[in-house]
Amino acid sequence: MADLMVGFLRPHHWQEPVRIHYWDREPLTGTDASLTGATDWPGQPMSPDPEHPGWYVFRMPDTARVRLLFTDGAGQQTPDLERNIDGWYQLGSGWQAHPSEPAPPAAPPPPAPPALTSLEPRPLAERTDFREESIYFLLTARFNDGDPSNNFFCRDRIEFDAAGNPVDSHWRGDFKGLIERLDYIRDLGFTAIWITPPVENRSGLDYHGYHAYDWTRIDPRLESPDATYQDLIDAAHAKNIKIIQDVVVNHSCQYGIRGQVHIDHLPIKYYVPQGSEPGQIQHGPYQGNLGNYAWTNRDDIDNPVAPSWYRERHARDPQGLEPLIDPKTGETVPKPGYDPGRFFGIDAQTLDPEWYHQDGFICGGDWESAYPLQQKHLAGDCIDLATERQNVKDYLIGAINRYLDMGVDALRIDTVKHVERDNLLEYVNAWKAHKPGLFVFGENLVKGYGWGDLGGGDNGPSEIRPWWYTRLGSDPRDPHAGGDSGFPQLDFGLFSTFRDTVSKGTYAGTGQILSMDWIYGDVTQLVTFLQNHDVGPDNDFKYRFQGEQWMAAAAYNLLWTARGIPCLYYGEEIEFMKGAPQDVEGERDTLSSTGRAYFGDHLSAERIGQTQAHPLYQHIRRLNLIRRAIPALQQAQMTQVNEWGSGMSFVRDLSAAGSYAVVGLAIGSEQSVQVDGIRPGLYRDAVSGGEINSQGQLNFQVPANSAGIWVLDGPGRIGEPGAYLH
């Protein structure tokens, strides 16, 4: 049987060697046993054709038919192809009987505007629409250490080196370290920084800030004499960067709220585990007992509304050796193995109803039902506040108003679905009234589309889904029953598709979620993301993104050109802790093995140049530059959305403000894009700098994992070509 020969013209941006990946080869009866019915990815190298420069060839003996694709093994590939006769394939032209000759030199195009390579954001005072921003999200205590004197080890998950010394303190990064690296974030192109809650916390593992003890005080483990919270806000503003403060409304820590309410506990310094002895605990810096090792009195809680006996013991007996009678049981402590719940847990029935709900803990089916989600306690160190009570409102609203007065520019609200919508909007609207124009968005975590009663396989009601909080209506099946609440959410619906789309190198299914954009109050104000400190798009959502680099690049192309405000989690720009669990998993896990590992080593003077040279750093930097220059990418709805798996196209029409863009995206392979029914005129591509005069249609090629961003009367190329935008 005759051989089958195929050729391929390598695009200039493809790496060498060009490879052929084939499968379903038939018949498989020849004498060449080395040629199988299929290749392993990424296939076999092709040979340069000496007679036709730029072309590569591959010959298959004894082959009648075969399915194949061409690839460079580095993210560039053609669509799936099939061949039963010899042929030569060229992207954009298809199969041909003979290799084409090099095209004659084209007439030089008319001069285009010079490439736009830098663009400062508008001054803070002029940026009144938060859709102009892009957000860099970080855990302050894990970002960069500027002041080792305020470092602190939590009681849980201490890491030890081979010699038994504690390393990697949980509270490691601080405001001073963040101030020192504001230029890093600014160079990356971000105009807003979302920090985890900075208020004072108390818990066995409270470095992240979500176990508030005193909303009126900044945690001293973040501040330094020359780097207070006010200093951070002022330094960020001086660099034209906004500060987004994370706020917890739903719950306090398990020890109450300083000066407001006490939750019944025994002092931790009297806790002795089973098998140990009083005064003999040796756990890293916690020597003698597990009380706060940084405080002279070795006790966690200094609450002036605690019972008199508690306050009296707080002031003395730092060793925790003096006998104390538990007023609840009559037992005497310290006593090895005595009820850990009396030190660390709570009895929901004994909580002060003026401040807390008393309905127990969320479990089982509670997670998809509104009442238990909003009345029960989230966890043992997240005690559900009675947010409907006026005293709770007055305290939390007043505390956060103080930070708004300090200059905080926006708020992110934690655990949204755990507070009934209209109740939570009382808080949101009060802060907006205090600071007109304030941008506030929420976190309503859902691992699915989040359409609630509108269908789509959702097993939870609308009343706990993101779209509900962006609306004011009372019909869970009709989003149009109420207008925009002015409280946009993190876009968990779009995020949840990434497990089955960009994590597998396709956009297939993205169009479906975008077709439901109408359910939100204002979809253009949603905050979009690939991952955060809780979730990632792989497997069961527990891990930092572990896909190929080109997959991440294609995901960012979508996030930075689609509706919404893009948000990046610290370290994504260098694939930091790729594939690691977002939080501690196993009993012995420590932070250095998770997605919350310390990042500052990559920001040191010795390594920051390497960090900034990473292809994804440069890719995101350019995306920020492009989005900043094109108002339609910031504020317009998406129209004419077309998705075909390996590609997408859509229009961002902000004609009222003089901005109009046509976007084409490609993932996995180069794509030919055609968009009809657009406004006529001269379009320039912000990626390549190309120009097309359109009479209502655009036809253009998009390299694999790149984008075409054709702007009507646009500025031309923005930024420098890179690995994924060229």
In the numeric block, the tokens 């009601």 are attached to 461
What six digits make up the tokens of 620? 């995101």
What six digits make up the tokens of 379? 């966890």
Whole-number percent of the chain with pLDDT over 70: 97
Among 96, 117, 134, residue at a domain's last position? 96
Q: What pLDDT, in 10s, does the model give residues 381-419?
A: 999 999 999 999 999 999 999 999 999 999 999 999 999
What letter represents residue 258's amino acid? R
Distance CA 566, CA 560 (A): 6
Distance CA 624, CA 725 (A): 12
Q: Is residue 698 part of a domain?
A: no
Beta 410-413 vs 439-442: how paired, if at all? Answer: parallel
8-state DSSP, 189:
T
Boundaries of domain holding 288: 264-345
Is residue 179 within 8 A of residue 192, CB to CB? The reply is no
Distance CA 166, CA 585 (A): 20
Residues paired with residue 58 on neighbouring β-strands, in sequence order: 6
Q: Is residue 279 part of a domain?
A: yes
Calculate Rg over the CA atoms of the chain: 29
Q: What is the CATH number of the domain that holds 466?
A: 3.20.20.80
Average pLDDT in the chain: 94
Of 295, 305, 292, 223, give the one whose Cα is nearest residue 258. Answer: 305
Residue 176 sits in the same domain as residue 38:
no
Distance CA 669, CA 75 (A): 7
Q: What are phi and psi of 374, to 5 degrees?
A: -105, 0
Distance CA 670, CA 244 (A): 38
Q: Which helix (H) or strand (E) holds 547?
A: none
Q: Mark residue 364 as left, alpha or beta (left: phi above 0; alpha: psi -120 to 50; beta: remaining).
A: left
Residue 232 sits in the same domain as residue 154:
yes
Residue-wise over 129-140: b if at least 16 C-beta within 10 A, else e? ebbbbbbbbbbb
In the numeric block, the tokens 């081979």 are attached to 162
Does residue 457 have a pLDDT over 80?
no
In the numeric block, the tokens 């089982």 are attached to 364
pLDDT value of position 547: 95
Beta 159-160 vs 261-262: how paired, if at all? Answer: unpaired
Of 726, 624, 656, give the one whose Cα is nearest residue 241. Answer: 624
pLDDT value of position 6: 94
DSSP structure string for 480-544: GGS-B-S--BB-HHHHHHTTTTGGGT--TTHHHHHTTGGGSS-GGGPEE-S--SS--SSTTS-B-
Residue 485 sits in the same domain as residue 602:
yes
Residue 170 sits in the same domain as residue 237:
yes
pLDDT value of position 75: 67
Q: What pLDDT, in 10s, does the model give residues 583-608?
A: 998 888 999 999 999 999 999 999 99
What six digits make up the tokens of 380? 């043992």
Q: Burial, 4: exposed, middle or buried (Cβ in 10 Å; 0-12, 13-18, 19+)?
A: buried
Residue 56 sits in the same domain as residue 205:
no
Q: What pLDDT, in 10s, does the model give residues 286-345?
A: 999 999 999 999 988 899 999 999 999 888 899 999 999 999 999 999 999 999 999 999
Q: Is residue 484 part of a domain?
A: yes
Does residue 31 have a pLDDT over 80?
no
pLDDT value of position 420: 98
Does residue 101 have a pLDDT over 90?
no
Residue 518 sits in the same domain as residue 378:
yes
Collapsing DSSP to helix, strand or coil, 2 comes out as coil
pLDDT value of position 111: 57
Q: Which of 75-89, 120-134, 674-688 is least confident? A: 75-89
Q: Is residue 350 part of a domain?
A: no
Residue 33 CA neighbour count, 13 Å, CB half: 0
Number of domain units in the chain: 3
Chain length of the chain: 726
Residue 186 sits in the same domain as residue 224:
yes
Distance CA 60, CA 169 (A): 60
Q: Is residue 631 part of a domain?
A: no
Q: Is residue 106 part of a domain?
A: no
What letter represents residue 598's amino acid? Y
Whole-number percent of the chain with pLDDT over 90: 84
Q: Mark residue 708 as left, alpha or beta (left: phi above 0; alpha: psi -120 to 50; beta: remaining).
A: beta
> Sorting pLDDT into bands at 50, 70 and 90, what band is 106?
very low
Residue 445 sits in the same domain as residue 491:
yes
Q: What are phi and psi of 564, to 5 degrees?
A: 105, 175
Residue 246 sits in the same domain as residue 317:
no
Does residue 450 have a pLDDT over 50?
yes
Provide CB contacts within 8 A for 507, sequence distance 6+: 501, 554, 558, 643, 644, 645, 646, 647, 648, 665, 667
Higher pLDDT, 178 or 67: 178
pLDDT value of position 28: 60
Cα dihedral across residues 425, 427, 431, 434: positive or negative: positive
Residue 53 sits in the same domain as residue 155:
no
Among 312, 345, 378, residue at a domain's last position? 345
Beta 192-195 vs 242-247: how paired, if at all? Answer: parallel
Does residue 30 have a pLDDT over 70?
no
Residue 181 sits in the same domain as residue 69:
no
Cα dihedral across residues 655, 703, 514, 136: positive or negative: negative
Does residue 104 have a pLDDT over 60?
no
pLDDT value of position 657: 94
pLDDT value of position 33: 42
Provide CB contacts within 8 A for 566, sequence distance 6+: 134, 135, 527, 528, 529, 556, 559, 560, 623, 627
8-state DSSP, 101:
P
Distance CA 317, CA 269 (A): 9
Residues paired with residue 166 on neighbouring β-strands, in sequence order: 160
Q: Is residue 469 part of a domain?
A: yes
Residue 213 sits in the same domain as residue 286:
no
Q: What pLDDT, in 10s, does the model give residues 254-275?
A: 999 999 999 999 999 999 999 9
Provide the total of helices (H) and of strands (E) in the chain, helices listed first: 16, 36
Does residue 693 have a pLDDT over 90?
yes
What letter represents residue 172's amino acid? R
pLDDT value of position 79: 80
DSSP structure string for 230-262: HHHHHHHHHTT-EEEEEE--SEE-TTEETTTEE
Q: What is the CATH number of the domain that holds 48?
A: 2.60.40.10
Q: Is residue 676 part of a domain?
A: no
Distance CA 440, CA 408 (A): 11
Collapsing DSSP to helix, strand or coil, 94 comes out as strand
Is residue 182 within 8 A of residue 239, CB to CB? The reply is yes
Distance CA 467, CA 473 (A): 11
Among 345, 372, 405, residue at a domain's last position? 345
Provide CB contacts within 8 A for 293, sequence distance 6+: 153, 285, 286, 287
